[in-house]
């Protein structure tokens, strides 16, 4: 069968090998007599799927030990609210607006953060260039600084993440990396939190990935729902509520597929970067 190319924003194509394996295991996963969609998320069968997926993703993205990997729901748009509910307690938050997605992010954050500052914007140039980090008007004592590292609608991408410490800021950098996660390595030394919907690169719609540095946990607003409190989610291994089990399973198969990819002397995410 000839499959069409899919250039939409998502849900995007999933590798044939992944779909074939998911289809073969639909009625009976690993001899359990159950399909993954039928399993208890607290049963040993699904816990083994979850643990393998988390370990494979940590390896693929080279996520340091002091970061938690959370499998959540709501997509990237929901994270525009969940991030400020978790990180804005200290006060102002900063945004660099480089296109449609970061515009949405800063508008949503205004519902939760006491002060939202657009410290740089590419709007005057029609979102065709990135504002020079040297000219960003970073707020003193900001709770975090948010960027969308790849603005698909406007075609703007940060080829290198900004070094906030070099810019004189102690604020953690928050990145929306939905549309290019797993296409290149992430410099975690410059990141406090990264989030993205799985449907772009990693799996089906319904799963949201959050990678958050441990010291940023435990600062949620009192009004933050428990199921969205990153510390609660982390303390319960993404099982505080029923997680998107099917999405985690298919994403886990994608992680294994990514690990098998080779491009010259490179493998995994490095191979995808070379291929791209």
Residue numbers annotated as active site: 101, 176, 200
Element (H, E) at 148: strand 145-148
Reduced to 3 states (helix: H, G, I; strand: E, B; else coil), residue 3 is: coil
Spatial contact of 145 and 94, defined as CB atoms under 8 Å apart: yes
Around Cβ 133, how many Cβ atoms within 10 Å? 18
Distances (CA, A) of 13 to 16, 92, 272: 9, 39, 15
Spatial contact of 161 and 96, defined as CB atoms under 8 Å apart: no
Spatial contact of 274 and 264, defined as CB atoms under 8 Å apart: yes
Secondary structure of 14-53 in HEC code, one letter for each residue: CCHHHHHHHHHCCCCCCCCCCCHHHCCCCCHHHHHHHHHH
Nearest to 170 by CA among 195, 137, 145, 134: 145
Taking the C-alpha atoms of residue 137 and residue 168, their distance in angstroms, rounded to an integer, is 11
């Amino acid at each position: 069968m000839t499959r069409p190319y899919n250039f939409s924003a998502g849900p995007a194509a999933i590798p044939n090998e992944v779909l074939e394996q998911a289809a073969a295991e639909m009625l009976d996963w690993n001899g359990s007599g159950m399909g993954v969609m039928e399993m208890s998320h607290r049963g040993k069968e699904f816990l083994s799927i979850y643990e393998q997926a988390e370990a494979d993703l940590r390896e693929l993205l080279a996520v340091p030990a002091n970061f938690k990997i959370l499998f959540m729901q709501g997509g990237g748009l929901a994270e525009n609210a969940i991030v400020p509910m978790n990180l804005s307690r200290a006060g102002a938050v900063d945004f660099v607006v480089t296109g449609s997605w970061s515009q949405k992010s800063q508008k949503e954050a205004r519902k939760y953060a006491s002060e939202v500052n657009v410290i740089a914007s590419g709007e005057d140039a029609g979102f065709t260039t990135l504002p020079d980090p040297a000219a960003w008007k970073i707020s003193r004592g900001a709770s975090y600084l948010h960027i969308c590292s790849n603005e698909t609608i406007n075609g703007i991408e940060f080829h290198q993440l900004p070094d906030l410490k070099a810019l004189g800021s102690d604020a953690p950098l928050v990145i929306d990396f939905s549309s290019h996660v797993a296409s290149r390595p992430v410099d975690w030394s410059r990141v406090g939190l990264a989030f993205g919907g799985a449907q772009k690169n990693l799996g089906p719609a319904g799963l949201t990935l959050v990678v958050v540095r441990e010291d940023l946990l435990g600062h949620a607003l009192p009004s933050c729902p428990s199921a969205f409190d990153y510390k609660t989610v982390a303390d319960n291994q993404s099982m505080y509520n029923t997680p998107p089990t099917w999405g985690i399973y298919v994403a886990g198969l994608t992680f294994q597929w990514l690990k098998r990819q080779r491009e010259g002397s490179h493998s995994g995410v490095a191979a995808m970067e070379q291929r791209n």
